[in-house]
Amino acid sequence: MVSPDPTTHATPSTAQLVRDACDRHPEAWRELTSRYEGLVRAVVGSYRLQEADFADAVQNTWLRALERLHSVRNPDSLGGWLTTVARRECLALLARSRREAPTGVADDQLVVEEPGPEALVLAEEARRAVAHAVTELPLKPRELVNALFSTPEPNYAEVSRQMGLPIGSIGPTRQRALRTLRCGLARAGQDVRAS
C-alpha cells in the first residue's frame, strides 16, 4: 500500500481554514466545525443545560462564529475564541431562563462547580503563556512581578527592602511591567483583560 504524498494531502492550518471560511468556502467551514465541534459541545456540556438549551447553545455558538469569524485576531487560537463564545452563549441562556424560570432553582444546580477538562487545559495554557511572558521581561521588572505575585498579600515595604526600590516607585514599575506583559500575551494570542 502506497502512502499518500504529504505535499498534496497536507492538512490546512487553522489560520488558513479561518481565512478560507471568511472567504465563504464551504469546505473550510465544514473542516472547522469538524475540528472544533467536540470542544464546543464539551464547553456547553459543562453548564448542565437542558437538552433543548444545550442544542441552542451549540447552534448559537456556531452562528456567532459564522457572523464574527472575520473578527478573530489570532486564527491559530480559534479554540480559545470558540470556548469564550460558547461560555457567553450558555450564560446568556441561563440569564434568560432565570428570568423565565421559577425561583426555586439553586445556582449550584445550573452550573458545574468544578472546571471541566477543557477549562483545565485552557487554564494551563494561559499559565504557561504568562510564565513565559514573565521570563521575557527585563530583570528588575521580572523580579518585581515575581515578588509581588508570589504571595497572596504582598507587603510593599518588604518588597521595597528586598529589591532596593523606593516604595513610591513600586506601583508605577508594576504598571509598566503588567502593560508589557499584556502586550506580550496579546501577541501570543492570549485573551487579556485589563486589570
Q: Which among 104, 132, 159 is the end of a domain?
A: 104
What are the Cα distances from residue 13, in Å, to 9, 40, 76? 12, 19, 8
| Residue 51, in any domain of the structure | yes
At 110, the pLDDT band (50, 70, 90 cuts) reads low
Is pLDDT at 60 greater than 80 in this prediction? Answer: yes
Q: Global pTM?
A: 0.47
| Reported confidence tier of residue 139, pLDDT bands at 50, 70, 90 | confident
**Structural domain includes residue 78:** yes
Cα(188)–Cα(76) distance, integer angstroms: 10
Instruction: List all residues 6 or more positions away from 4 whose beta carbon is below 8 Å from its beta carbon.
Output: none
91 and 31 share a domain? Answer: yes
Indicate the residue among 72, 104, 136 that finishes a domain: 104
Geometric angle at alpha carbon 178, from 174 and 184, rounded to 5°: 150
Identity at 18, one-letter amino acid code:
V
The pLDDT tens digits for 61-79 are 999 999 999 999 999 899 9
Q: Is 189 left (phi over 0), alpha (psi -120 to 50) or beta?
A: left
What pLDDT is recorded for position 190? 67
Quick one: 98 and 122 in the same domain?
A: no
Checking if the pLDDT of 113 tops 70, the result is: no
Please compute the mean of the pLDDT values over residues 3-26 and round it to a whole number.
Answer: 79
Q: What is the CATH number of the domain that holds 50?
A: 1.10.1740.10
98 and 58 housed in the same domain: yes
Q: Chain-wide mean pLDDT for the chain?
A: 82
What is the structure's pLDDT at 122? 81
Q: How confident is the model at residue 194 (pLDDT cuts 50, 70, 90)?
A: very low
Write the pLDDT tens digit of every residue in 146-162: 888 877 787 888 888 88
Decide if pLDDT at 5 tops 80: no
Q: How many domains does the chain have?
A: 2
Which of 49, 84, 104 delimits the end of a domain?
A: 104
Per the domain annotation, does 131 fall within a domain?
yes
Do residue 98 and residue 147 come from a single domain?
A: no
Q: Which domain holds residue 119?
A: 113-195
